Structure 1
């Protein structure tokens, strides 16, 4: 986040805001830091954060407002006010600025879109997918006790970020962040049933696409995807059949076939290596799987594509237009 919230009044900078910047990431993580936290103490001047600045633009913001506190969020042609106790979710790009007036106390969690899930365990994936897919600002008045609980978690995150070399820092941070996310998700989980079916269906299918892109090599079952989406396999089947004219099982298989065909066309890597890279433990099964969906064995497909390219003809196409 940029430092504009501290620049409104130089006299207010003396330790009034404690900032955490994630200088370390979990094992396997890379790139820009995914999590930050700020503790906003009561002060005699207002503070503003420019959410469209280069530093803040990629981030989701979770604001925790205490009793008697207030905040304003600015969007083109519109200003929205919030009063505590409340929790506010600001998706990346949903607002131009956030202002906390004089005298307010709050906590602000900063989550880099598309990256912060690295701190969450697999069990929190449904919450991550639902919140990451949110397109608009979500706010909910809550009991003061929940604000207190959330604020303690954000304070703990800030403390661990500030001292990343301490033993267990990443694990503690992961645990506190997971609790924050799950508590906030719980507030809105029931509200999803009230949305119109078209919008709800589109969101679910978007999340299904994202999950499939991330996990197609794991050969998960339809029931596994349904569990991650927080729904029954029957509902997922009905949505896919109605909106995409294909069952979830067909879509899962077609995504694997598309990837296999792409890898076969791209180079000379052995069919056995491609099979193992795509999660097939048996090359013979991979050959049968590919032949079932294309009518040709992998080696035959590769040779035919190469011959068409040499002859200046277009590659054969697979009708998987529903998937990127």
Structure 2
């Protein structure tokens, strides 16, 4: 059953008691919270995801609770926990909807070693995936949010999960995190998109999450090979440049962007080498989203 088919009263009851069990890609999260803002955000952003009862195996039991901020005796705070452990300092209560998203990313990036996990967006078209590694501020999420409205399937906005045996990428299609002016850019470009609540005055500025497309969620069990590794960089006023990138440099940069490359040892090295042997590697600098979309439309598979 999809979350959207559960009455909100039932969603709230599960969140407050045994947990709301959501299948997100390869993983099952059991989420508990008494915060109305988190319940409402989950109901909006995860409406198309499957909900399971308490009999399923849970990979990540997580919660967001409220309390008093340690900075102040009167300011309310929100705290994320995984299986009782709090990996982050408490944040202001208004950031709770964003905190659950950041926390779920942390769970997979820090606890999973069955995949090579790269800090990169990944999208798919015609059976081939494009991996987009980029540091914060590069416009990666804005570009990803745009491309998934232009015929590309969202596999993940943040975490590229590469099977170290098959070298295929597995989907983890959760909400796309947009920040500051990117929120308005995407909303104005594509009217009618569904967004979660705004979290203002975070360490990243204003943050809002975009609901993943229904087709991306319904196909979240479909893995695919990687054809392209593209390093995007938004620079205001720049001319559009799309150029090949040496695979030796790509290897170094992708390894630096991987959460568990060192932990996997040879398996991580072998997986990344094989991915890059099969993929075409590029650098993209742009200031116009239309130009970037056109470049992605013209990509041809590596085979």
Q: Same fold (TM over 0.5)?
A: no
- Tell me which protein shows more strand as a share of its residues: 2
TM-score class, shorter: under 0.3
Greater relative contact order, per chain length (Cα 8 Å cut-off, separation 6+): 2
TM-score norm. by structure 1 comes to: 0.24
Please give the TM-score of this superposition, normalised by the length of structure 2. 0.25
